[in-house]
Structures are given as C-alpha cells and as structure tokens.
A and B are shown apart, each in its own frame.
Chain A
Amino acid sequence: MDWIFLSELAINGALTGLLYSLFAIGLVLIYKASSVPNLAQGGLTMVGAYVVLALSHDAGLPLWLAIPLAAVIMFGLGFGIERVALRRLAGRPVVMILMMTLGLDIFLRGTTLAIWGGTSRSMELGVSYEPFFLGDIFVSRIHLVGAGVAISLFVAFMLFFRSRTGIKLRAIADDYMASWSVGISVERGVGLSWALASVVAVAAGVIWGEIQGVDQALSLLLLKGLTVAVLGGLDSILGAVVAGIILGIIENVGADFLDPLVGGGSRELIVAAVLILTVMIRPHGLFGRHDIERV
C-alpha cells in the first residue's frame, strides 16, 4: 500500500469532510435550540447559493459585497421561516415537524428552480484550480478555502456561545421551560437559531457551489450533512466538525477500497452505512447529550 497515496486520500477526505461540517453546523444550530431536525437545510443551502449568484451575476455586485448581502437576506428568510412555519407546530409530534421541514425543502427547491432555472451555473469565486502541493500530497485549493471557512465558522460560533445572546441560546437548548420562566424570549432565540443556520447555509452554498456548480444537486448534501450531524451528536457543534473529518476520511479511503469491488459509486453506501451504524450503536453520537429515548 502506498502510504503517500493513502495520506493524500485521508487529507483530501478530511478537507471534504470539513465541508460537510459546514453544512451540518446549520442542522446542529437549529436542533440545539429547538429540537427540530431541519431537513430543509439542503433547500436553504441551495437558496443561499442562488441568492449570491443573483446578486453577483445578475445584479452585477462584486462578490465581497454580494456574499454579506446574501447573508443578510438569508438571515431574514430564516427568521421568517421559523415565524411562519415552525412556530405554529411547536409541541406537535416529531412526524409533523419532519414533514413540515421536508415540505419546506421541496417548496424552496421548486421555487428556486422556477425562478432561476435548473441549468447548472458556476459560482466563479476566483480561487485558482492550480494544484497545490503539501510536500508530495496534492490538495485542492477550494477545499482548503472551504475547510478554512468551516473552521472559522466553528470558532466564531464557539465565541458566540460565550456572548450574552449565545448564553441565552444555550439556556434555551438546555431547558426551554426554565428559560421561559427566567424571562428569556424562547421564540426569539429559536428564530435566531434559524436565521444563523440560514447564514451558515450561504457559506455552504457558496463553497459547494464553487466545487460542484450551483444547481439542484446542492440539496443532495442533506444525507451527508445529516450523517455528520448525527455522528457528531445532533446538538454539538464541536461534534459536527470532528464527525465531518471522520466521515470524510472514512468515505474517501473506504471508497478507494470498495469501488473496485462493487464497481464504483460506493460513497453513498458508506455514508448510509455510517448513519445506520451510528443510530444503532450510539444514537446520541460522539459528543451529543445522552437523553435519547431508546425503545
């Protein structure tokens, strides 16, 4: 076995994994505050990417202005979605909340494609595709940039959760009844978590849009993002980052071993297997809280 090749696979896998984390952080933020599994995160990511494109390509703004502006718009959209769709369902069985987020996902995807069309477009971030060598190891630049964004978002959220607003969010995540009784506005906190998740979706949309083009496939990240979030523990941001790296490595190295055996395309299979095994063996994930109800 070629060690350099193996470490190249592992490092590139870890970088891709951090990009999954970028997606999963959005899921975790919402789950942490409101115990809502946000299956619409894929749709939000897609909307985020298309909004950036609309501002930069269609309206002609420079990217450094378009991305923050898109983040602001998505912040509002996230708040709006929580206010209109999710708040009314608070306290309902999880199956209805799941269906609501699935419906939102379908709606966001359909509307985006109806407005901007389904042909794949490129983000044109301006990151060069020149190979970049770490010693003997080939690394893709855009993946490095994305991993950097993921790590800096992680650090930003770690700092944010130490601020006054962040502490309120943590209190809501811990026990919303108690938060209510000490005067924390739980509704606003949950709305804020949706808004922040939508901003994260812009970041994920921009990076993934650069890598694979802006089209419907962006919402297919959902399975990988969910797997990362569950493996890390649905309510742990640190878990999302660590699990992203782990899943990326397993997927990249595993696919290299399995692809010749099964004739290609084993990535999906590996991800699904990791998800099933995690739920079966350790449903609360690596860093999640232990209060998962078992049968």
Chain B
Amino acid sequence: MFYRLSGVHHANYVSDSRIFKVPADRNLAIFVFLFGLAAPFLLPSLYLNSYMLPWLIWTAAALGLNLVTGWAGQLHLGYAAVMAVGAYSAIHAARFGVPWEFALIIGGLASSVIGSLFAFAALRVKGLYLALTTLAMQFVMDWVLTHSPAISGGSHASLQSPTLALLGQDITSDTGYYYVAFGWCLLVTIFMLNLKRTGLGRALVAVREKDFAAAILGVNSFYYKILAFAASSFIAGVSGALLVATFFFLAAPEQFSVAVSIQVLAMVIVGGLGSIIGSYLGVALILLVPGLVNGIVAGGSQSLGMQINVETLAHIPNAVYGALIVIILLIEPLGLGKLYGNIRDYLMVWPFDQLRK
C-alpha cells in the first residue's frame, strides 16, 4: 500500500540497475531532498545551525568511513586523524590565500595520501589487528598534531579558519553554511548510491567477503583496498575541512582525537555497515540523542524539584551515548539501516502480508 509494487516491472538491465527500483523509495528521497532544500525557511536558525548542519557534515564523514568499513570491510579506528589532515591542510592552504574551492580539494588530496598509509597496514593484517594498528596510527597523528606548532597553530594549539568563500561569494550567513553542508552531503550520498551499482562497488564487496576469493575472480584486492582507503580519506578530508570552516571556525587537535574516531565508527556501526540511510540515522542517533536525553533529564529534575549535581548532568550524555551503542547492537547488530529495511519490507506487503504465510 505504501510501497506500491504493482506495475513495477524491470524488463531490461538499465531499469533493473536503477538507484531506486521502487517508485515510493524515489518519492521519499525526493521529499527528503526538498525538505533539506527548504529547511532554512522551515526551521529556526538555532536548529539549523546546531543540529542540521553538524548532522549533514558528520553524515558525509560517516559515509566515507562506511565506504572503507562497510563496503571494503576494512576496520578503521583512525578516521578522525585522516579528517584532521584534511582540515589542517585545507585551512593552511586557505590562510595562505588559495581559493577555498582548491583549498578543499587540497585538503582532500592530502588526506588521501596520508589515508593511503593506513591502507598499507591493511595489506598486511586484517580484522582486529588492523583495528589496533589504525588505532595506534591515530595516536601517532594526535601526537604529531599536538607537538608541531607549525601545524596546529602556535601555543594555544588553535587555528582560526578564514572566511569561507565559494564561487566568489563570501559565505557568512547560517543559511549559507547550511547549504554548503547540504551540498557536500548530497554529493557524497549520490556517490555512495551509485557506488553500489558500479564495478568498483562490486569489487569492494568481493574484497570484503573474502579477499582470496576476490583474487581468484580477478579482483586485485591490493589495488581496491588502497582505492577504498584513498577515496574514503578524500571524503574524510573534505568533511573535516568543512566541519571546521562552517561549524567550529577554529581547528584544534581535540576535535580530531581518538574519541572522535570511535564516535564516527559508532555512527557507522549503529547505522548499519554498508547502509546509506543507516548512516543518516546512525549519525542522528549518536550525535543528537545524548544531548536530547540530557535536556529531558535536566528539565524533568527541575520540574520534579530534584537537585541533580552539575557534574552528573555533564556526564549523562556520555553514559547515554555508550548505552545507545550497546542497546542498538543488542537489538539489531546490523544497525538502524536494517531496522529501517525491516519496516520497509513489512510495509511493502502490508496489508496483504497475511497472504504470504
């Protein structure tokens, strides 16, 4: 009823390899796109700035990590370090006078180069040991950032981002920042949606499932692993740069610490490995719900007249964030994307699901 399949026939390969095979999916995507486009006129600027904007940029970043972890199956615990490389190179380039368009690309390429170093670990080991190696690399990057004033910007270890300007327009308004984030997230999403139906995507999945089986099929796993790391690092770099340019305005090493790496991985896994809609949902859950719960607890305790320690309130979001990861993994290890898929599958045949049984 909601997902009408009647009359949907795929009679040739071109129609069968469409991004949205069911019209309802396409309509939903168009609706979400239009909502995103109209959001600055619908939402107050506080919501736009402090919820929508970080949500979109983190989603782009999470999709990049999903490319390497969900599609290519390589564990990556040093993603924030790669984002840091992009952010710092782009901002240094922009401060140097390079136009922002090129500065962003420079940031992405610098991230690709450094991110490919992580791939060399992936060529040697996989699974747990890869996770540990990338974790150690994250610590090395953290150390380099905090110990080189030339990169991190002097004694206060913070680097002011110059005014963002794209296509000759200075971007200073909230709406402008939002549209930059929206555009970037849209680009990454379109790339990821198309990845599924290209040879590259299928090769990555083959490498994920079994690398020597992929080798037998003629897929060079060496090449595709490096490609996956480089592509995901490019996305990470640009996302990191945009995050600083439109949200933080000030780059500091703590913004890209190991906790952030874990947070992005949590977003991807809670969202579902290899699921695009899942990444959106996962980021929303991890990024927005802890603050929301904290607000509810603070408001609730006030209205009930209870006194809650300030320190307790400060740490509740962390506890909630950890609990969310645990709970989602217990309910559905395949993540929110799978939950969404289950609901969609149910609605696909509703109300005729009785007929199947």
Contact = CB atoms under 8 A, between A and B. Distances in A.
A295 B329 contact: no
Contacts of A280: 121, 124-125, 133
Contacts of B126: 293, 295
Interface string B287-326: 0000000000000000000000101101111111111111
Interface string A257-274: 000001101001101110
A253 interface: no
Contact of B128 (A37, A84, A110, A275): A37
Interface string B27-69: 0000000000000000000000000000000000000000001
Nearest to A31: B128
Nearest to A109: B318
A15 interface: no
Contacts of A240: none
B121 A110 contact: no
B3 to A, nearest CB: 29
B216 to A, nearest CB: 15
Interface residues of A, number: 49
Contact of B329 (A96, A226, A227): A96
Contact of A95 (B75, B137, B318, B319): B75
A37 B132 CA distance: 10
A94 interface: yes
A226 B132 contact: yes
A203 B69 CA distance: 36
Interface string A89-124: 100101110111011111111110111011100000
A230 interface: yes
A146 B124 CA distance: 37
B123 interface: yes
Given A105-B322, A293-B127, A294-B125, A223 B329 contact: no
B333 interface: yes
Interface string A56-98: 0000000000000000000000000000110011001011101
Contact of A99 (B123, B316, B325): B325
B273 interface: yes
Interface stretch (B173-181, B197-205, B242-250, B261-269): B261-269
B273 A268 contact: no
A24 B121 CA distance: 23
Contacts of A276: 121, 133, 136-137, 140
Contact of A268 (B123, B129, B139, B266): B139
A263 B124 CA distance: 33
A189 interface: no
Contact of A89 (B121, B265, B329): B329
B284 interface: no
B330 interface: yes
A269 B140 contact: yes
Q: Kindly state the interface size class of chain B when it binds its partner.
A: 35 or more
Given A98-B128, A115-B312, A118-B311, A106 B321 contact: yes
A145 interface: no
B326 A295 contact: no
Contacts of B322: 103-111
B122 interface: yes
A272 B137 contact: yes
A117 B123 contact: no
B75 to A, nearest CB: 6
A34 B211 CA distance: 25
Contacts of B324: 103
B269 A223 contact: no
A103 to B, nearest CB: 3
Contacts of A99: 265-266, 269, 325, 329
Contact of A223 (B124, B133, B139): B139
A232 interface: no
A50 to B, nearest CB: 12
B131 interface: yes
B143 interface: yes
B135 interface: yes
A295 B123 contact: yes
Given A279-B125, A280-B133, A292-B125, A113 B326 contact: no
A268 B318 contact: no
A89 B325 CA distance: 13
Interface centre among B125, B129, B326 (most CB of A within 10 A): B129
A118 B315 CA distance: 9
Contacts of B311: 113-114, 117-119
Interface in A111-150: 111, 113-115, 117-119
A119 B315 CA distance: 12
A118 B146 CA distance: 24
A95 B273 CA distance: 10
Interface in B141-166: 142-143, 146-147
Interface of A: 37, 84-85, 88-89, 92, 94-96, 98-100, 102-111, 113-115, 117-119, 223, 226-227, 230, 262-263, 265, 268-269, 271-273, 275-276, 279-280, 283, 292-295
20 contacts: A94-B75, A95-B273, A96-B329, A99-B265, A100-B326, A106-B319, A107-B325, A110-B316, A114-B316, A223-B135, A226-B132, A265-B143, A265-B146, A272-B140, A273-B140, A276-B133, A280-B124, A293-B127, A295-B122, A295-B124
Given A99-B325, A119-B311, A275-B132, 10 more contacts: A96-B329, A100-B325, A107-B321, A114-B318, A117-B309, A118-B315, A230-B129, A276-B133, A293-B126, A295-B211
7 smallest CB-CB distances across A and B, nearest first, come from A107-B322, A103-B325, A110-B319, A110-B318, A106-B322, A114-B315, A113-B315
